[in-house]
Structures are given as structure tokens and as C-alpha cells.
Amino acid sequence: MRWCTFDLGAGMGAAIIHTEGSPNSGFFGREQDTLVATPLLRMGYAVFIAWSLWLRADVLGAVAIPRPVFAFADRIAGSWGQPLVLQSLGIEFVLR
């Protein structure tokens, strides 16, 4: 049995982003649904600790295509889906 493992992965996800404006005096509410694709890359490394336990670290990068942009009063107020990088560190329990 190996004491460490390294792996790479790639994938594709999808999301529906629903936004809804709350009107008040002088403004009107607006709803919008945006379908985005989210290609991603993942890199992981694990080290054997003890029977069935591994210490695991992963890094995942993703981006939303097209990038959803949110507007307020006809001005861009923000966006979502810029390149995203997530890191994790944890204990993995493996049954074999």
C-alpha cells in the first residue's frame, strides 16, 4: 500500500442562479434566472495516517460561464463567478 497519493481531476457543473428585486418607492422589482456552466479543475494530495485514515488537502478552481452580473437602478452592482479557488484540509476515512 502506498503512504501518499496525488490526483488531478476536471469536471463540469451547472447552476441556475435566481435573483429577485424587492421594490420600494421609486424602484421596481425584477426577477432573473441565469443558467451558467461551471468548468472546474481539482488537485488533491493525501497522506496515510493510520488504518483507514488519510490526511487530505485539495485545491479546486472554477469559473462561471457566462458571468452573471447583477444590476441595481440600471448600474452594475456586482457579479458572481469570477475565477474561484477553494482549499480544503481534512481527514478522509477509506473502506477497502
Whole-number Cα distances in Å, 53 to 6, 9, 15, 17, 56 = 16, 22, 33, 37, 9
Question: Residue 80 sits in a domain of what CATH number?
Answer: 2.20.200
Dihedral sign for Cα 65, 66, 72, 78, please.
positive
Domain that includes residue 88, residue range: 4-93
Instruction: Give, as one character, the DSSP assignment of residue 25.
Output: T
Domain count of the fold of the chain: 1
Per-residue pLDDT of the chain (96 residues; tens, 9 = 90+): 689 999 999 999 998 888 777 766 666 667 778 899 989 999 999 999 998 999 999 999 999 888 888 777 678 877 877 788 999 999 999 887
